[in-house]
Structure 1
Amino acid sequence: MQVTLELILSVLMCCFVRFSSQCSNYGYPFENHLATITPYRIVSNKSFERINFEGCTPKKIWLMARHGTRNPKYSLIEQMGSRLPQIKKLLLDGGSLPNEFIRNRDLDLLNKWKFNMDPDKHNKLTHEGEEEMLVLAERMQSRFPQLFDEVYSNTSYKFKYTHSQRTQKSAYYFTAGLFGKATAKDVWFPDPLKKDPILRFYKLCDRWNFEVKKNPAAQQEVRIFESGPEMEATIRDVNKRLNLKENILELDDVKLIYEMCSFETAWNKKSKSPWCAVLSQDNIKVLEYAKDLRYYWQDGYGHEITYKQACPAFRDMINFLQSKNRFPRVIAYFTHSGTILKLLAHLGLYKDSEHLTGKNYDSMGDRQWRTSLIDAFGSNVAFVVYGCGSEDKILTLHQENIVRLPPCPDTDLCDLSLVRDYYFQSLDKCDFTSMCRVH
């Protein structure tokens, strides 16, 4: 008990003397600021409570889910395996730690830290990712028992995943959450497409790939921010916290530390990554904003073509929900971050009053476009059509939480006719081929 009290008092004293931005991030919810590497457990609605609306019956559900927590990409695994051990040695051999920021417990964790991941396991779904999909399915089944039958039928369900191991395995574990692992092995999935027009439409959009994805100018705001005063201060601060002189750690090192902190937090519920202790609260927020900028200008509101091209997915959803066919009752797609973000922007959700830029960090602290919250691993968007007497109404869920679409800001259930009218261009004027042609 005495040790616990001393720990609390030391942290409080640090916060009193150095202000919160300078303190150790123990006790600080840094996992809320890990951008697209955030584990789904941080943002998910963990309620199993059934969702009912008086006088209404759920008829169908359309779900688009990002894969669960995965390993890093190939090049990042190589960087982590080569550079981080060098930084570890630099810190442990320097003799200037512990200090008021980096404590003995941090150094103990760092001393035990090893990274032996085989680069061939890049982008593979992890155990945490498997569990994310299992519990997502269990909660959805609990909320909508009329739709998610526990007995598998190829008539009632339509599942589909993209051409990647992480979405394939995510789909499998989702079905395992619904039917059990024994039955999940027999669930039928269509052969995945490398460029799926619904699940990964942007792979088919030449104009977006030319003007945005492969265009360095599209990420100009990120470069402005990463060379700006906030990031320069972050680099200085990290070196100062570690008692390193002359900014030995540069931007790429600090970003790599943030990546390792993020992935190890996502992979492990209970153990803390020693790399998170290297970063202060302010450091993490600055690094999060750099990521948010990147995805805002690549997959969000930065360029009109980015979110307009999501109309095939939106149209697929509306056509399914308004179809008079009773089956299937469930469509569940398993896809990637780029699809989820473009769809959210297409819907007009999480739109700030001004663009995120490299120079307005200070005014965007309460921004809606925070990938930590809207695009974590396992992020999902679901639409449920309810029969309410003679009318059909749509319920929208994001991260399993009810969200309200722009045409119905004051009600959870939105008339299908209002949704159709509001997004009529997505339905009636979605000429994907023309839109995505390079001019």
Structure 2
Amino acid sequence: MTLYVSVTLVFLLLFYFCSCSSLSAAATSFATDESFDVRQHLSTVSRYGAGKETTIGSYVPSTIPEGCNPIHLNLVARHGTRSPTKKRIKELDQLAIHLDELLNEAKRGEKSLPQKIPSWLSGWQSPWKGRLKGGELISKGEDELYQLALRIRKRFPELFNEEYHPDIFSIRATQVPRASASAVAFGIGLFQGNGTLGPGMHRAFSVTSESRASDVCLRFYDTCETYKEYRKSQEPAVDKLRGPILEEIAAELVKRYQINFTRQDVASLWFLCKQEASLLDITDQACNLFTASEVELLEWTDDLELFLLKGYGKSINYHMGLPLLQDVVQSMEQAILAKEENHKPGTFEKARLRFAHAETVVPFTCLLGIFLEGSEFERIQRDEPLSLPPKPPLPRSWRGSTVAPFGVNNMLVLYQCPGNASHSTSASKGYKSEYYVQVLHNEIPVPMPGCYNTDFCSFEVFKESIVNPHLKHNFESVCTAQAKEEFPSPKPSSIACKLLNFIRSFFQRDSYGNAKINQKNEL
């Protein structure tokens, strides 16, 4: 176990035992508390609507100055709500068998179950019983992306008033079906009414994907060998961090229902709760086994895993996403060049729309410094680890339901403003106009510590304060420095990433290698 893992484990265990509050003091079901909605506490299994309703503090968004118009939009989005994966479906089938065994044991020779045992447990079967496949986008997920597209088109009509062309509206997705299906659902909403197909006047549009083995823009986590080694070493430690919480809740459930639940049972029931509540809107079965305080603790353990394995817990988590950040910056630079050179409408890109996974969006969120205070932003730029998210009931900004629900998205909108400041950075570069970036998380403008805690930031300041400090790293040094020689670098194959490769030569000394990597199974 590495020193980092050891220190993290010791810290969290001490934190747990020092701040542990009695769960038995709140042994009533959350169903009795009408103000508590479990669907807002499902971490990364939360539906987009529940996550979007959680506001980011009391921040007041910037007012876009008069005369400023959007000229380009970058979108990085997670797929919508999906069904359980094949592996998880099997786990739920095993849970049904195990619950039946526990209930038979609880009868203790009696004909009926003790009254304390919820009636739904008797004869329970998984809603996904018999399913041989899983992980696909469900109808709720389709609607999440479809509605998102409608809102974006309404919010930024200037960006989507031109005839469709794949070079103007670039749509990209990973090769995982739920991601590409999300891209399709989004495209249907975005271009609805602009075509000739069917009563909805739909039109065909292009969705492109990279090879699974070389997608450094959207699947960098699967092409970065150093990260995969780090994650493999951390996962057992994260499981140990969950242990005390699961043990305590298991003990409470045994007392409450007179069923010999183990901590593994608690983990499986919590997973069932999340699936039932998020996918089926069922909150009075598995979720109702837990009190509100227990739900908050279980949510915290999920958020902790997200923090340590995908977020600010280790710099490798987000530094490996630099190709995506540079691709975003490159697209904005191209849009600025097109405006400065007075390119004709319909000849340059106006939106670059990407659909991927939580493992893509969360590192990108971290690169932007969202959900950080000023001092924390300075620490990540020095590659220093951050403190773990505080344990309930203490408040925290790092919540999976806000950071990475289904359909989570970051939008970076580039604005062109009148160039009336001769001393400005844009003027010094010879630009005729001023250019600003607005950052939105789940459609809500969010402050960036690197941009004076505002959501509306000069493009040059955005590059200087947020992007450039990360560029002391590059994908090769981050992902191969600690890896063995048999872990070669991935080779990008998309035009965007080839252009990115050329652009990065101005920022970095290294370039992508030409070796291929072994193909891995999709998440």
TM-score normalised to structure 1 length: 0.83
Q: Verify: 1:35 aligned to 2:35, yes or no.
A: no
Query: Per-residue deviation at 1:410?
Result: 4.2
Query: Per-residue deviation at 1:430?
Result: 4.4
| Pair member with larger Rg | 2
Aligned to 2:211: 193
Aligned to 1:420: 463
Aligned to 2:292: 281
Aligned to 2:27: 22
Alpha-carbon separation, structure 2, partners of 1:68 and 1:117: 22
Alpha-carbon separation, structure 2, partners of 1:184 and 1:239: 55
What SS does the corresponding residue of 2:152 show, helix, strand or coil? helix
Aligned to 2:491: none
Deviation digits for residues 119-142 of structure 1, max 9, x if unmatched? 532211111111111111111111
Q: Relative to structure 1, is the Cα distance of residues 62 and 202 closer, same or farther in structure 2, using a 3 angstrom cutoff?
A: same
Aligned to 2:246: 231
Q: Verify: 1:83 aligned to 2:79, yes or no.
A: no
Q: Relative to structure 1, is the Cα distance of residues 277 and 113 closer, same or farther in structure 2, using a 3 angstrom cutoff?
A: farther
Opposite residue 192 of structure 1, the aligned amino acid is: E
Query: Per-residue deviation at 1:423?
Result: 2.6
Q: Superposition RMSD on alpha carbons, in Å?
A: 2.8
Q: Verify: 1:134 aligned to 2:146, yes or no.
A: yes
1:169-208 mapped onto 2 (5 Å cutoff): 169-180=181-192, 182=197, 186-195=204-213, 196-208=215-227
Which among 313, 326, 332 is matched to residue 315 of structure 1?
326
What SS does the corresponding residue of 1:274 show, helix, strand or coil? coil
Q: State, as a whole percentage, how many aligned pairs show the same letter.
A: 26
What SS does the corresponding residue of 1:120 show, helix, strand or coil? coil
Alpha-carbon separation, structure 2, partners of 1:170 and 1:299: 22
Q: Relative to structure 1, is the Cα distance of residues 45 and 187 closer, same or farther in structure 2, using a 3 angstrom cutoff?
A: farther
Deviation digits for residues 145-170 of structure 1, max 9, x if unmatched? 11134853323200000011100100
What SS does the corresponding residue of 1:132 show, helix, strand or coil? helix
Alpha-carbon separation, structure 2, partners of 1:97 and 1:185: 59
Q: Relative to structure 1, is the Cα distance of residues 36 and 75 closer, same or farther in structure 2, using a 3 angstrom cutoff?
A: same
Structure 2 alignment gaps of length 5 or more: 1-22, 56-62, 340-347, 377-385, 419-432, 483-523
Q: Verify: 1:367 aligned to 2:396, yes or no.
A: yes
1:150-299 mapped onto 2 (5 Å cutoff): 151-180=163-192, 182=197, 186-195=204-213, 196-210=215-229, 212-215=230-233, 218-219=234-235, 221-228=237-244, 230-244=245-259, 248-269=260-281, 271-272=282-283, 274-299=285-310
Which among 346, 356, 370 is matched to residue 367 of structure 2?
346
Q: Relative to structure 1, is the Cα distance of residues 235 and 112 closer, same or farther in structure 2, using a 3 angstrom cutoff?
A: closer
Alpha-carbon separation, structure 1, partners of 2:74 and 2:220: 17
TM-score normalised to structure 2 length: 0.71
Aligned to 1:6: none
Are the equivalent residues in 2 in contact too, given 1:70–1:126 (CA < 8 A)?
yes
Alpha-carbon separation, structure 2, partners of 1:91 and 1:437: 52
Are the equivalent residues in 2 in contact too, given 1:109–1:273 (CA < 8 A)?
no
Query: Per-residue deviation at 1:202?
Result: 1.8
Return 315-324 or 147-156, whichever deviates more: 147-156
Alpha-carbon separation, structure 1, partners of 2:99 and 2:164: 51
Deviation digits for residues 391-436 of structure 1, max 9, x if unmatched? 1111101011110111224433111111111134367544211221
Alpha-carbon separation, structure 2, partners of 1:343 and 1:74: 28
Alpha-carbon separation, structure 2, partners of 1:418 and 1:176: 36
Opposite residue 432 of structure 1, the aligned amino acid is: F
Alpha-carbon separation, structure 1, partners of 2:454 and 2:414: 14
Opposite residue 315 of structure 1, the aligned amino acid is: Q
Query: Per-residue deviation at 1:321?
Result: 1.3
Structure 1 alignment gaps of length 5 or more: 1-17
Alpha-carbon separation, structure 1, partners of 2:316 and 2:54: 35
Opposite residue 434 of structure 1, the aligned amino acid is: S
Opposite residue 34 of structure 1, the aligned amino acid is: L
Aligned to 2:513: none
What SS does the corresponding residue of 2:435 show, helix, strand or coil? strand
1:37-116 mapped onto 2 (5 Å cutoff): 37-44=45-52, 53-87=65-99, 90-91=102-103, 94=107, 95-99=112-116, 107=119, 114-116=126-128
Query: Per-residue deviation at 1:221?
Result: 4.8
Query: Per-residue deviation at 1:178?
Result: 1.3
Q: Relative to structure 1, is the Cα distance of residues 423 and 111 closer, same or farther in structure 2, using a 3 angstrom cutoff?
A: same
Opposite residue 351 of structure 2, the aligned amino acid is: V
What SS does the corresponding residue of 2:89 show, helix, strand or coil? helix
Are the equivalent residues in 2 in contact too, given 1:385–1:393 (CA < 8 A)?
yes
Alpha-carbon separation, structure 1, partners of 2:360 and 2:97: 35
Are the equivalent residues in 2 in contact too, given 1:91–1:97 (CA < 8 A)?
no
Alpha-carbon separation, structure 2, partners of 1:335 and 1:313: 12
Alpha-carbon separation, structure 2, partners of 1:163 and 1:286: 35
Deviation digits for residues 288-309 of structure 1, max 9, x if unmatched? 1221221211111221111111
Are the equivalent residues in 2 in contact too, given 1:161–1:167 (CA < 8 A)?
yes
Tell which has more relative contact order, 1 or 2 (C-alpha 8 A, sep 6+).
1
Aligned to 2:387: 355
Q: Relative to structure 1, is the Cα distance of residues 422 and 264 closer, same or farther in structure 2, using a 3 angstrom cutoff?
A: same
Are the equivalent residues in 2 in contact too, given 1:113–1:274 (CA < 8 A)?
no
Are the equivalent residues in 2 in contact too, given 1:315–1:426 (CA < 8 A)?
no
Alpha-carbon separation, structure 1, partners of 2:301 and 2:99: 22
Alpha-carbon separation, structure 1, partners of 2:239 and 2:122: 31
Aligned to 1:396: 439
Alpha-carbon separation, structure 2, partners of 1:280 and 1:251: 16
Are the equivalent residues in 2 in contact too, given 1:65–1:333 (CA < 8 A)?
yes
Query: Per-residue deviation at 1:349?
Result: 1.9
What SS does the corresponding residue of 2:338 show, helix, strand or coil? coil
Q: Relative to structure 1, is the Cα distance of residues 421 and 240 closer, same or farther in structure 2, using a 3 angstrom cutoff?
A: same
Opposite residue 28 of structure 2, the aligned amino acid is: C
Alpha-carbon separation, structure 2, partners of 1:151 and 1:272: 45
Alpha-carbon separation, structure 1, partners of 2:228 and 2:210: 21
Q: Relative to structure 1, is the Cα distance of residues 58 and 46 closer, same or farther in structure 2, using a 3 angstrom cutoff?
A: farther
Are the equivalent residues in 2 in contact too, given 1:34–1:262 (CA < 8 A)?
yes
Aligned to 1:15: none
Are the equivalent residues in 2 in contact too, given 1:231–1:286 (CA < 8 A)?
no
Alpha-carbon separation, structure 1, partners of 2:391 and 2:209: 44
Deviation digits for residues 17-62 of structure 1, max 9, x if unmatched? x998322222321111111111111022699xxx954221011000
